[in-house]
């Protein structure tokens, strides 16, 4: 059974970000997919310090093992798609979620060719900026972006209020349908990822 990993980047376990992700999860389950919503929690998540110890070790894990990063990497390695969701704080996603994304991608989580989607939830403004920030890392690691009928944004303030955003909830369901379709196409018999050229890093300071 194909699986989609959903990461709730809110410090509130059952806040509006959860309800938006859960709407997508329900649609994926209806489509015959397995889902798991991982809550990032309230404990600090280290930021990447670019030590490259993970690269030198070559084991696909971050050298720091005192938060949930490596646990999420293991879950991602077994998943076929990824959805990350965050509330909007000052026009940005939560810092802990960004830290997690940066480290799991740098450490070498198996993500190439796996569809990814970002979800932003806000009271009123800043959602498009947060949404774009969440999407940017996936564009650097060959993860196809999953779209919807609108940007993957939903609105609400009090816990559960986001469920009153009819268009936002429909956007989550449409995103999930597109995720299911894309995974099926990418994992169909005979489907293969492109053969990429070796990376050519170009630096502009001589």
Identify the pLDDT of residue 162: 98
pLDDT at 204: 84
Torsion of CA 42, 35, 26, 89, to 10 degrees: 30
Predicted TM-score (pTM) of the model is 0.96
Question: Residue 80 is encoded by which pair of tokens?
Answer: 């076929």
89 or 203: whose pLDDT is higher?
89
Are 84 and 101 contacting, i.e. CB atoms less than 8 angstroms apart? Answer: yes
Domain boundaries, given as residue ranges, for the chain: 3-186
Name the β-bridge partners of 85: 8, 119
**Dist CA 1 CA 29 (whole Å):** 11
The third-level CATH classification (topology) of the domain covering 3-186 is: Rossmann fold (3.40.50)
For residue 150, the cross-strand partners are none
Helices and strands (DSSP H and E) totals, the chain? 6, 5
pLDDT tens digits for 126-147? 999 999 999 999 999 999 999 9
Contact 154, 52 (CB under 8 A): no
């Amino acid at each position: 059974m194909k699986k989609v990993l959903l990461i709730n980047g809110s410090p509130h376990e059952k806040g509006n970000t959860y309800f938006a992700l859960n709407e997508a999860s329900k649609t994926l389950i209806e489509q015959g997919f397995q889902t798991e919503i991982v809550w990032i929690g309230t404990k600090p998540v280290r930021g990447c310090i670019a030590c490259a110890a993970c690269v030198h070790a070559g084991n696909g894990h971050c050298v720091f093992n005192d938060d949930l990063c490596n646990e999420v990497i293991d879950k991602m390695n077994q998943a076929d798609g990824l959805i990350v969701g965050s509330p909007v704080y000052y026009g940005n996603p939560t810092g802990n979620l960004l830290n997690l994304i940066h480290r799991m991608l740098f450490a070498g989580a198996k993500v190439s060719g796996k569809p990814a989607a970002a979800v932003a939830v806000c009271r009123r403004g800043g959602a498009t900026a947060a949404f774009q920030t969440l999407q940017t890392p996936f564009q650097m690691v060959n993860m196809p972006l999953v779209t919807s009928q609108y940007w993957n944004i939903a609105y609400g303030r009090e816990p559960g209020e986001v469920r009153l955003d009819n268009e936002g909830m429909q956007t989550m369901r449409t995103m999930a349908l597109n995720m299911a379709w894309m995974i099926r196409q990418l994992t169909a018999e005979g489907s293969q990822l492109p053969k990429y050229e070796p990376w050519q890093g170009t630096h502009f300071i001589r």
